[in-house]
Amino acid sequence: MGEASRDIMRRARQQVPEWTPVQVHDQLAREHAAGGREEDVVLVDVREKYEWNDGYIPGAIHVPRGFLELQIEEAIPDKSQTVVLYCAGGVRSLMAGQTLQQMGYKNVISMSGGFGQWKGNGYEFAAPRVMSEAQSKRYSRHLLIPEVGEQGQFKLLDSKVLLVGAGALGSPTAYYLAAAGIGTLGIIDADVVEESNLQRQIIHNTERIGEYKAESARQTINALNPDINVITYIERLDETNVRRIIADYDLIIDGTDNFPTRYLLNDASIIENKPVIHGSVFRFEGQVTVFKPHDGPCYRCVYPEPPPPALAPSCAEAGVLGVLPGTIGLLQATEAIKLLLGIGEPLVGRLLTYDALASEFNELRLYRDPKCPACGENAHPEDLPTYADVCAIPA
């Protein structure tokens, strides 16, 4: 180390207090024993990604030195918090400490000896979950987004989403969720692929006419992304199976085309506390919203009763523009990813409508009904009717 470098280090040590690994270890032990009653310190690992992958101190936040100025304020917004920085040997953490002080952080400490000394003392360290090379390439564009990143991608890979229906809405939703890396996709659909489906149900193809839609979707997804575990249910959702099936999933995509299933799914999702991302299409118009139990209205708040059968035409009777389900299905997929990652503002209490002819989106505010029999103050969702004799506007 040259004289200039030694001078820089000397000044840094005059400005930034240092704790030994023993002091850091003892402080963390006291906090653990106090059960959060003492003011916690925040550990920040400023090493590079490849160093972090070899191990880190449990509970540490990873903010590489090269990204410190860009990311630290989001990671630690409270500048009065006690921040302990560490690197491999204690040099970069001193430099990083000076930077944080210049940014207004009041209590910055550098761990002398760094992670190397921490390991040398025999203290506990963790090995991070690491993506395979293939996963890093596949999801590289997600990894570049701060709101997703590697940890967010792991969340998606660990998530379980149930698609009710592998038809017009289920097709684009399943396809893009699979591409995004949703680790487990459940698909429930007892119908088979018909030639008339292929105008809008893009997850199927001509060669699979006559096959079950759920199995056809599984083949397409597996060909797109081998990371995805696809669970198929060749059955219809009814009172005997709905709670059993949805219990295993984080959220549900409602791609149904009939009112009985929508009401049944709504009531079961409230009992099981599962968000439902609802979508529907009709000719040139579509809509999407999120029904999140205990946080906004439910389906019965918005539609207390279904319309009479005469006002609920089937797909064959009313028709639908083939590309419209793609727009609505992709909005459903987007809402699913937002919910799973806990980012953005999901469409809870908001109904987004789309008019394809006018190329126009509109938003309606939805409100929870305190007297709703499914989610209100005196609700009894387990005893509500499903209107089995009612047709449906198609989905």
Out of 87, 298, 301, 315, the active site residue is: 315
As a whole number of angstroms, the distance between CA 105 and CA 119 comes to 28
Characterise 8 by phi-psi region: left (phi > 0), alpha (psi -120 to 50), beta (else): alpha
As a whole number of angstroms, the distance between CA 88 and CA 172 comes to 46
Residues 270, 375: contact at Cβ < 8 Å? Answer: yes
As a whole number of angstroms, the distance between CA 184 and CA 230 comes to 6
Strands 251-254 and 160-164 come out as parallel
Residues 120, 141: contact at Cβ < 8 Å? Answer: no
Instruction: Indicate the DSSP class of residue 353.
Output: E
Give per-residue burial for 56-69: e unless 16+ CB within 10 Å, then b.
Answer: bbeebebbbbeebe
87 labelled catalytic: no
Class of residue 369 by CB neighbours under 10 A (exposed 0-12, middle 13-18, buried 19+):
middle
- Residues annotated as catalytic are 315
